Structure 1
Amino acid sequence: MALRTAVVIDYENVHRMARGTFDPQGDLREYLIHPMQFARAAIRERNDRQREGYPHAELSKVLVFRGRPSAQHEPTYYTRNTSQATQWRADGAVVTLRELKYTYQYDEHGRVVTDEAGRKLLASGSKPQEKGIDVLCALECVRQAQRDDIDLVVLASRDTDLVPVLDQLHDAHRDRPSLSAKVETVAWFDRDALRQGGSLQPTRPRKIWNTNLGRRQLEASIDRNDYR
Structure 2
Amino acid sequence: MLSALVVIDYQNIHLTAHDLWAPAGTAKHETLVHPLHFANGVLSQRNQTLLAKAGEDAGDLRAELAGVAVYRGMPSNKEDPTAYRRSMAQRSEWTRDPRVQVTYRPLKYFWTNGERRAKEKGVDVLVALHLVRAAREATFDVVILASHDTDLEPAVDEAVDQDSTCQVETAGWKDAKRLHPKSRVWHTFATSAQFVSARDRKNYD
Moved more, 83-92 or 154-163: 83-92
Q: Distance in 2 between matches of 1:39 and 1:147?
A: 21
Contact 1:100/1:131, CA 8 A, preserved across alignment? yes
Contact 2:4/2:144, CA 8 A, preserved across alignment? yes
User: Which one of the candidate residues 180, 190, 204 is aligned to 1:201?
Assistant: 180
User: Which one of the candidate residues 138, 141, 145 is aligned to 2:131?
Assistant: 141
Contact 1:69/1:100, CA 8 A, preserved across alignment? yes
Contact 2:10/2:71, CA 8 A, preserved across alignment? yes
The answer for unaligned runs of 5 or more in structure 1 is: 105-121, 190-195
Query: TM-score w.r.t. structure 2 length?
Result: 0.90
Contact 1:169/1:180, CA 8 A, preserved across alignment? no
- Give the number of the structure whose residues are more often helix, by fraction: 2
Q: Distance in 2 between matches of 1:69 and 1:226?
A: 18
Q: Distance in 2 between matches of 1:148 and 1:66?
A: 24
How many angstroms does 1:168 deviate by? Answer: 1.3
Aligned to 2:31: 31
Query: Residue 39 of structure 1: SS of its match in structure 2?
Result: helix
How many angstroms does 1:103 deviate by? Answer: 1.7
Contact 1:159/1:200, CA 8 A, preserved across alignment? yes
Overall identity of the aligned pairs, in %: 39
Contact 1:103/1:123, CA 8 A, preserved across alignment? no
1:14–1:180 distance in 2 versus 1, CA, 3 Å = same
Q: Which structure has the greater CA radius of gyration?
A: 1
How many angstroms does 1:79 deviate by? Answer: 0.5
**Alignment pair present for 1:8 and 2:7:** yes
How many residues are matched? 197
Q: Distance in 2 between matches of 1:89 and 1:75?
A: 21
The answer for unaligned runs of 5 or more in structure 2 is: none
The one-letter code matched in structure 2 to 1:139 is: L
Contact 1:184/1:210, CA 8 A, preserved across alignment? yes
Q: Distance in 2 between matches of 1:214 and 1:151?
A: 24
